[in-house]
Structure 1
Amino acid sequence: MSIPQPERLHLDSDAATGYPNSPLPVLIYRSVIDTSNPEERATSFEAMFKRHGWLPAWRYHLYDFDHFHSTAHEALGIFRGQARARLGGPNGRELMLCAGDVLVLPAGVGHASLEADDDFCMVGAYPPSQKPAIERGDPTQLEAAQARVDSVAMPESDPVGGPLKTLWAKTTP
Structure 2
Amino acid sequence: MNKSEIIQHAYVVTHILDGDELFPNNQKFPLLVYKGALLLHPDSTPETIKDIFAKNGWTNAWVDDVFDYHHYHSNTHEVLGVFCGKADLQLGGPEGVCVELTRGDVILIPAGVAHKKTQGSDDFTVVGAYPAGAEYDIKYGKDGERPAADETIAKVDVPECDPVYGKDAGTNQYWKQDT
The question of a shared fold, defined as TM-score above 0.5 by the shorter chain, is answered with: yes
What is the 5 A alignment of 1:34-53? 34-37=39-42, 40-53=44-57
**What is aligned with 1:3?**
9
2:63–2:128 Cα contact (<8 Å) kept: yes
Paired letter, 2:9: I
Q: Is the 8 A contact 1:49 1:56 kept in 2?
A: no
Alpha-carbon deviation of 1:55? 0.8
| 8 Å CA contact 1:57, 1:125 repeated in 2 | yes
Contact residue 72 and residue 130 of structure 1 kept, 8 A = yes
Query: What is the letter of the counterpart of residue 45 of structure 1?
Result: I
How much does 1:153 deviate? Answer: 2.9
Q: 1:21-60, aligned counterparts within 5 Å?
A: 21-23=25-27, 24-37=29-42, 40-60=44-64
1:86 and 1:50 map into 2 onto residues whose CA distance is 26
1:1-173 matches, within 5 Å, as 1=4, 2-15=8-21, 18-23=22-27, 24-37=29-42, 40-161=44-165, 162-169=169-176
Residue 154 of structure 1 and its aligned partner are, at CA, apart by 2.0
Tell me if structure 1 keeps the 8 A contact 2:10–2:34.
yes
SS at match of 1:6: strand
Partner secondary structure for residue 48 of structure 1: helix
Aligned AA (1:73): H
In structure 2, the CA distance between the partners of 1:3 and 1:53, relative to structure 1 (3 Å rule), is: farther
Aligned partners of 1:129 and 1:44: how far apart in 2? 17
Corresponding pairs, count: 168
Q: CA RMSD in A?
A: 1.9
**Equivalent position amino acid for 2:98 in 1:** E
Q: Is the 8 A contact 1:78 1:123 kept in 2?
A: yes
Unpaired runs of at least 5, structure 2? none
Give percent identity, aligned residues only: 34
Higher RCO (CA < 8 A, seq sep 6+):
1
After the TM superposition, which parts of structure 1 deviate over 3 Å for at least 4 consecutive aligned residues? none
Is the CA contact (8 Å cut-off) linking 1:48 and 1:160 kept in structure 2? Answer: yes
Please report the TM-score for the alignment, with normalisation by the length of structure 2.
0.86
- What displacement does 1:75 show? 0.5
